A = this chain, B = another copy of it.
Amino acid sequence: MLSFTEENYLKALVELTVFDADSDEVGVNRLATCLEVKPATVSDMVRKLRNKSLVNYEKYGKVSLTSEGRLKGMMVIRRHRLWETFLSSKLGFSWDEVHELAEELEHIHSEKLINRLDEFLDFPEFDPHGDAIPNQKGEILLPFRRTLSEIEVGKRHRISAVRDQTEVLQYMDRIELKINQEVTIEHREAFDGLTTITYGNRTSVVSPKLTENIFVVCAECGKAKCSCK
């Protein structure tokens, strides 16, 4: 049985090498920053995870997940996202409150519990932030993702997901920007990336700090990578 700590390392590795898909391996420093511990701590820990066949790693090399490690990490994310969905849809928590609670709940070790919860929630596909929920086998829809900071001016898009960070979510609440809402970029300032967006009957000027955390798809075809005119 894995400890909370080991599970958090595997979860972070999935996030760094599967979701943020530039590379399927990652350095010790990067992992340390992400987990908010010192590189020395990570060095020790990845050796331990290698001995359990959960990661590939050798001294001074990069770290990557084995298929077993990837599955274990994916299951932590499945639990996290299902609990977030439960808290939001059944207990009425707002989308900026659920992540912190799910950080604890994700470590409850019972496959039966999580599958029953999945059923109770009617097998949701997405969590409250628009992130896909891995299935029982650890499989997940991994769409190519594009952020509001990358798309061209003038074309209608729809918000599909948001990075799960309290401040982002609370800010979006404040300007009434929601998942599934259609958004158009009116103007993007080359100098500092300040962006004017319209949505519903509103117009807002927002910074890259926000637009980099919002994922969108084409409003017409529903895809992030599309060839609609």
Interface, chain A (partner B; CB < 8 A): 87, 90-93, 101, 104-105, 108-110, 113, 116-117, 120
Cβ of A117 and Cβ of B91 under 8 Å apart?
Answer: yes
The residue of chain B having its C-beta at the shortest distance from the C-beta of A87 within the complex is B113
Nearest CB of chain B from residue A5's CB, rounded to whole Å: 14
A117–B101 alpha-carbon span in the complex (Å): 13
Residues of B within 8 A of A113 (CB): 87, 91, 101
Distance A165 CA – B93 CA, assembled complex (angstroms): 34
Q: Which residue of chain B lies nearest to A119 when distances are taken between CB atoms in the complex? A: B91
Q: How far is the CB of A137 from chain B (nearest CB, A)?
A: 21
In contact, B105 and A92 (Cβ under 8 angstroms):
no
Q: Are A104 and B109 in contact (CB under 8 A)?
A: yes
Known contacts A87-B113, A113-B87; is-contact A104 B108 (Cβ 8 Å): yes
A220 → chain B closest CB, angstroms:
40
- Cα–Cα distance between A92 and B113 once the two chains are bound (Å): 10
Q: Is the CB of A116 within 8 A of B101?
A: no
Given contact pairs A104-B108, A105-B108, A110-B101, A120 touches B90 in the complex (Cβ within 8 A)? yes
Residues of B with C-beta under 8 A to A105? 108
Q: List 9 A-B contacts (CB under 8 A).
A: A87-B113, A91-B113, A91-B116, A91-B117, A91-B120, A92-B116, A101-B113, A104-B109, A104-B110
